[in-house]
Structure 1
Amino acid sequence: MHKPESSFEHLLIAKHLLRWTLLILPVAIVVGLLVALFLWLLDLATQTRWANPWLLWLLPLAGIAIWYLYKVVGKNTDAGNNLVLDEIHNPGGGVPARMAPLILFTTVITHLFGGSAGREGTAVQIGGSTSSLFARWYRLDHQDRRVLLMAGVAAGFGAVFGTPITGAIFALEVLAVGRIKYDALVPCLIASVVADVTCLTVGIEHTHYSIHFRPAQQHITSFLKTDYILLAKVIAAGVIFGLAAWLFAKTTHHIKHWSNRYITYKWLIPVVGAVLVVGISYLIGTFDYLGLGVTTPDPDGVSIQSAFTPGGAHYYSWGIKLLLTAITLGMGFKGGEVTPLFFIGATLGNTLAVLTGAPVDLLAGLGFIAVFAGATNTPIACTIMGIELFGADNALYFAIACFTAYYFSGPTGIYTSQRTVVDKLHNTDSND
C-alpha cells in the first residue's frame, strides 16, 4: 500500500545527511592533505631519480628495507587494499592507523629507487586507515564504520587522480562484482569532493590528458547516425583491453605465489624482484618503464602522455610495463596498480590504433580507462572517469570499451578480497 509522504520524513533525511556531512568533513580534509603530501613527495622522488640514475642500483636494498619495515611494524597491513575491502565487508578490528604512514613512506621509497608501481593503492590505504581511526574516535557501530571506510576509500581515490565523481562510484562498485549498494552513495560523494578540493587548495596539480577526436556529424548515408566501422574497432579493442587486464592480474598473482613458494628467505623476494627490474631495464636499454610512467625526461621516450600521439609508443611497450609492474608489486614493493594499468592501456591502445587505422588519441584514452575497468571490475566508475578526464563527447565509446573489457577480463581481478555477487558468464547471483 502506498505510504503518504510526510515532511517529517524529509526532516529525518536532512538530519541524516547533516550528520554524515559533519562526520565526513574532518576525515576528507585529513585524507586530502595526506594525499597532497604523498603526491608532492612522489613527484620529488621521481625528479630525484631522474637526476640520479645510479639510485636504481640501490633498488635491492630498498626492497630489503620495505620487507623489514612491514615485518617489524606493518604486521597485517601488508595485505594492503585487500585489508581495507575485508574490513568493509566484515567490520571488526579496524584498519590499523600505522597503515597510512607506512604505505606512504614505502611507496615513495619504491619510486625513488626505480620500482614500477602506481599510487592508487597508497591513496586508498591512506583513506581506509584514516577513516578507520576516525571511526574509533567517533565510536561508530559496525554499519556506520563500514560507510565511513567506504567514504575514506572514495576520498583517497578522488583526491589522488582529481576525479571526485569517479572516486565516489569506485568506492561503491569495487566491493563486489556485479552489484552496487547505494547506502554510502552520498557520504562517498561528499568525501571524494572535499578531499579533491583540499588537495587542489594546497597547490597540487593533476596531469591533464586530451582526446581531440570528436565523433563526425556527417555520415555516408543519412540513416546511419553512427560510425559503425569505428564502433566495431572499439568493441574489438575492448576485448583486447579486457584480455590485457586479465593477463596483468594473473601475472601479478602468479609471480607473488611462486616467489613465496620457492624463495625460502623472504627478504630475498624483493631482492630478486629488484634484480629482475634492473636487469630488464638495462636489457631493453631504457628506463621509460620505471616509476609511474606518466611522463619521461626523454623527449623521445614512452609515457602515458606520449601514448596519445602517433608514434608515442612501441608495439611492445604495454607488455614491458605489464611485466615490470607485476614483478615490482608481486615481489614485495609497494604502490598501486592503477597508474601502470593506465600506461598499459594507453600504449596498447596506441598500438591498436596504428594497426586498425583508428584515431590514436581515442584508442589510447579508451585503453587508459578500459584496462583499469577490466582489472578492477569497475566499468561504471571507469566510464565516469573517462568523462571527467577527457570530456563527454566520446562517452558512448568510453562505455562500450569499459563494459566490453569488464566482460573479457575474467572472473576475478587485481583485488582478491573483491566478492563476486553476479557471475559474468552466467549472469546469476552467487553470494551476497
Structure 2
Amino acid sequence: MSASNTKNNTNISLKEHFAIVKHLTRWTLMVVPVAVAIGSMVALFLWLLTSAIHFRFDHKWLLFLLPVAGLVIHFIYQSVGKSSEKGNNLIMEEIHTAGGGIPKRMAPIIMITTVLTHLFGGSAGREGTAVQMGGSIAAMFGRWFKLEGLDMRMILTAGVAAGFGAVFGTPVTGAIFAMEVLTIGKIQYEALIPALIAAVIADLTVSAWHISHTQYHIAVLAKTPYFLDNFFHIDILLLGKVIIASAIFGLASYLFAGMVHEIKSICLKIFKSKWMIPVFGGLCIIAFTFINGKPDYLSLGVDAEYPGAITLPSAFNAGGADTWSWLWKTIYTSVTLATGFKGGEVTPLFYIGATLGNTLSSLFNAPVALFAALGFIAVFSGATNTPLACTFMGVELFGGEHVLLFAVACFTAYLFSGHSGIYSAQLIGVPKVFDAHFKDETSLTEANHRRGYMHQKLRKYLLLFSRKHDDKGKQNPHNQSD
C-alpha cells in the first residue's frame, strides 16, 4: 500500500471518529436536560400516584365515585385534551410520520387523569402516563431546539425511553423498548445513543428525588438431578414446561388486547352519548368488586390494601394468587381502559402474567417465583410485541441467572400473541407468520380491522349454517328424537 493511500485511510478514520464524538456530544447536550425534566416529572407522578392509592385505602367509599371520576376525565379530554386522548399511539404516529405534533398539555393532563383513575379505584397502570409525559416533554424541547425530521423522531424516541425507563427503574429496557415498540420485527437503531442516555439520566433523576421502585426476587433453584443431565447443561424438562407456559402467556396477551378493543367497540355502538361510557365502566368496576367481595383487582395491584391481599409481589409466593386472579385482573383492566379511564396497561399486564404464572406453576409442578417472573415479562412481551426489551427487563428486575428462560418465554409469548397488541399504531415490519394472508397488513390497526371483518363473516356463516340446519330439521320431522 502506498504512503498516499495510507494517509487517506488515516484521514478517513479520523473524520469518522471525529463525527462520532461530535454526534455523541451534540445528543448528550440535548438529551440530558430533556431526561432530567422527564425524570423529575415521573418522580412527581409516582409520588402522587402512591399517595392517591394509599388515600383510597383509607377511604374505601371513594370507589363509589368512580363513575363520576370517569365523567370528569371524559370532559377534561373533550374540553382541553383534544388530540392528547390518542395517548401513546399519538407519539408513535409522530415518530413514524410527523403530523400535527404533540401538544404540551398532554403531560399534565395525562398525569392528572391517571391519578384520578387510581384515586377512585380504576384498574390501570402507569407506563402509559410516563411514556406520554416523556413524549410531550421531548416534543417541547425539540421545538425549542428547532429540530425537524429524523432529529425530532430521535428526540421523541429518547423521550419514550426516558419515561419508560424511569417509571420502572429499568433504563436498558426503556432504551430498547423505545426502539423496538415502533415496528414489529424491526428495531430503530438510529435512536440508540439518545434513547440510552435519556433512559439512564431519567432513572438517575428519579433516584435523586428519593423515589424507590418495587424489588422482586427469584429464590435460587435447588440443585437437583434432571432429565439427561449428562448431555445438557440445562433442565430440559423445565425448559419444556416453560415453552408450554409461555404459549399460554402469549394467548393471555392476545385475550387482553382483544378484550380492550372489543369492549371499546361495543360501548361505542351501544351508547349514543360518549359521556355515558365512562359512567358505565365505573359502575361495572363497582359491581365486579361486590361480586369478588374484595378490592384486590383495583388500581395498580402492587401495594397491599390489607394483610393477605393478592398483589403483584404476593404472586411470587406459593398461595399468593387465586386460580383465576389473572382473568379477573384482565376483566377489570380491560373495562377500565376501554371505557375511557387513563393510566396504562403494563403494570396490570405484569400482574396478569405473574398471577397466571403462579397458577401454572402448581399445575406444572414448577418453581413458583420463577414462573411468576416469566409470566410477568412474557405477557408484557406478547401484548407490546417487544420480546427483546422484555428479556432485558427480566435481567434488570430478576438478575441474569435465568436469562435463557427469560428469552424463551418472551419470544414464545410474542409469537403466540399473533398480530395483536395494545398499541394500534405499531407498524408490522416483519410479520410473525410468513403467509399470504398476512403480507398486506402494515399496522395493527389493519390487522384488527381485518380480524373484525373475518369474525363478522364467520358469525354470518355460522348463522346461515344454523338456519339451514333448522330448516332441514323441520322438513324431516322423523329425524328428530322424541
1 CA distance for matches of 2:222 and 2:187? 31
2:114 to 104, 107, 112: 107
1:209 to 173, 192, 216: 216
Gap runs ≥5 in structure 1? none
Residue of structure 2 in register with 1:403 after alignment: 411
2 CA distance for matches of 1:124 and 1:395? 26
When the two structures are superposed, what TM-score results if normalisation uses the length of structure 1?
0.97
2 CA distance for matches of 1:8 and 1:136? 30
Q: Is the 8 A contact 2:258 2:420 kept in 1?
A: no
Residue of structure 1 in register with 2:178 after alignment: 171
Deviations 1:204-230 (A, max 9, x none): 000000011337485464223211110
Which moved further from structure 2: 170-179 or 90-99? 90-99
The residue type equivalent to 1:41 in the other structure is L
Matched, 1:355 2:363: yes
Residue of structure 1 in register with 2:291 after alignment: 283
The residue type equivalent to 1:124 in the other structure is V
Which moved further from structure 2: 273-282 or 289-298? 289-298
Matched, 1:369 2:377: yes
Residue of structure 2 in register with 1:305 after alignment: 313
The residue type equivalent to 1:67 in the other structure is H
Matched, 1:187 2:194: yes
| 1:17-416 → structure 2 map (5 Å cutoff) | 17-214=24-221, 216=223, 219=226, 221-416=229-424
Structure 1 residues 186, 214: CA separation in 2 closer, same or farther (over 3 Å shift)?
A: farther
Q: Detail structure 1 runs of 4+ shifted over 4 Å in the superposition.
A: 217-220, 427-432
Give 1:271 deviation, angstroms: 0.3
1 CA distance for matches of 2:222 and 2:37? 41
2 CA distance for matches of 1:213 and 1:30? 39
Give 1:172 deviation, angstroms: 0.2
1 CA distance for matches of 2:224 and 2:156? 45
Give 1:295 deviation, angstroms: 2.1
2 CA distance for matches of 1:32 and 1:217? 44
Residue of structure 1 in register with 2:425 after alignment: 417
Deviations 1:398-426 (A, max 9, x none): 00000000000011201000000111011
Give 1:142 deviation, angstroms: 1.3
Structure 1 residues 219, 232: CA separation in 2 closer, same or farther (over 3 Å shift)?
A: closer
Root-mean-square deviation (Å):
1.5
1 CA distance for matches of 2:220 and 2:393? 17
Give 1:316 deviation, angstroms: 0.5
The residue type equivalent to 1:324 in the other structure is Y
Give 1:55 deviation, angstroms: 0.3
Q: Which has the higher contact order (CA 8 A, sep 6+)?
A: 1
Deviations 1:59-118 (A, max 9, x none): 011000000000000001100000000000002332100000000000000000000000
SS of the equivalent of 2:360 reads helix
Give 1:297 deviation, angstroms: 2.2
Which moved further from structure 2: 213-222 or 302-311? 213-222
Q: Is the 8 A contact 1:215 1:393 kept in 2?
A: no
1 CA distance for matches of 2:223 and 2:153? 46
Q: Is the 8 A contact 1:213 1:359 kept in 2?
A: no
1 CA distance for matches of 2:405 and 2:149? 40
Give 1:260 deviation, angstroms: 1.3
The share of aligned pairs that are identical, in percent, is 55
Q: Is the 8 A contact 1:107 1:334 kept in 2?
A: yes
Give 1:181 deviation, angstroms: 1.9
2 CA distance for matches of 1:358 and 1:369? 17
Q: Is the 8 A contact 1:304 1:347 kept in 2?
A: yes
SS of the equivalent of 1:6 reads helix
Give 1:429 deviation, angstroms: 7.3
When the two structures are superposed, what TM-score results if normalisation uses the length of structure 2?
0.87
Q: Is the 8 A contact 1:317 1:344 kept in 2?
A: yes
2 CA distance for matches of 1:213 and 1:174? 32
